Amino acid sequence: MAIGVRVEIVGLIILTMSICGESSSDTNRVYSPCGDARIQRKDGFSFGIAFGKHDDFFLVNGTSTSRLQLSPCDSRLNLQNNNAQLASFRPKVDQISLLTINTSANFQPENYGGYMVAFAGRKYAARSPPAFVANGSYTVSSFTLVLEFQKGRLENLFWKRDGCSLCKGNSNYVCLNNQDCAYRTNQCKRNGSGTEDCSLGIQVAFSGTDKHDAVFNSWYEVKNLRQYSLYGLYDNLRGSLSSQLSNLI
């Protein structure tokens, strides 16, 4: 099934930190985020992130008030006509990856609904809950996404929040709902008068097992990074790469 959303996001950076020194060939030949794959360690894995309004990711069941969240690969959502935007990534399995979207004047999340959903698969479709990114008042620029597998098949994607622990005492941030550190949107450079680089950074890690029952370790490594200054260094590197990309566009 072809995904029906426009691909207009520019300025994507993928940075990978290897957990171990070994390398192997990529055996996964499924490149569409709407394809189904069974993977092993060191494969590439394709998934997408769709940007839109919160309610655009849900299907209302007739006249009922109940709603069902569908994958952005499902044409019943009609995301294309709702001006949704798509970014597609292919990180290495069981490595910590930093995915960055340059939110310059070419792409401002608040203009496309302000929420994002991570997704992959069709028959075995998985999708994350919608995560708030930006509106006219606030912008969240840093996220951690965990891809959970069982025997090499993706079962779940979920956002890990830190309860604003990384921005306590920092006057540049606002703590939203006791879970997300956010800039005030008028602080962002993309608005012309701001000084903060609010480019979107998504730290991706893996949990569960591959198709050979090998256990993924990268999520445990992310948890360890959160306890030490290396996590701050990693976040600073995201900002540095994003600034370099801005100079090239």
Q: What's residue 15's pLDDT?
A: 44
pTM: predicted TM-score of the whole model, two decimal places:
0.82
Instruction: Flag whether pLDDT at 126 surpasses 90.
Output: yes
The reply to whether 7 falls in a domain is no
The pLDDT tens digits of the residues spanning 148-165 come to: 999 999 999 999 987 888
Q: What is the mean pLDDT of residues 203-226?
A: 86
Instruction: Flag whether pLDDT at 3 surpasses 80.
Output: no
Work out how many domains the chain is built from and give that number. Answer: 1
Instruction: Flag whether pLDDT at 81 surpasses 90.
Output: no
The reply to whether 184 falls in a domain is yes
Confidence of residue 18 (pLDDT cuts 50, 70, 90): very low
Beta strands in 185-241, from DSSP E residues, in sequence order: 200-208
Q: What's residue 139's pLDDT?
A: 95
CA distance 141 to 28: 30
The reply to whether 6 falls in a domain is no
Name the residue range of residue 92's domain. Answer: 12-248
The reply to whether 31 falls in a domain is yes
The reply to whether 132 falls in a domain is yes
Instruction: Flag whether pLDDT at 119 surpasses 90.
Output: yes
Q: What's residue 226's pLDDT?
A: 58
Q: Any idea what DSSP says for residue 122?
A: S
Instruction: Flag whether pLDDT at 82 surpasses 90.
Output: no
Q: What's residue 228's pLDDT?
A: 46
Contacts of 236-239 with CB under 8 Å at 24 or more apart are 237/15, 237/98, 238/15, 238/98, 238/100, 238/142, 238/199, 238/201, 239/197, 239/199, 239/201
The reply to whether 108 falls in a domain is yes
Place of tokens 């072809």: 2
The reply to whether 3 falls in a domain is no
- Assign 179 to helix, strand or coil: coil
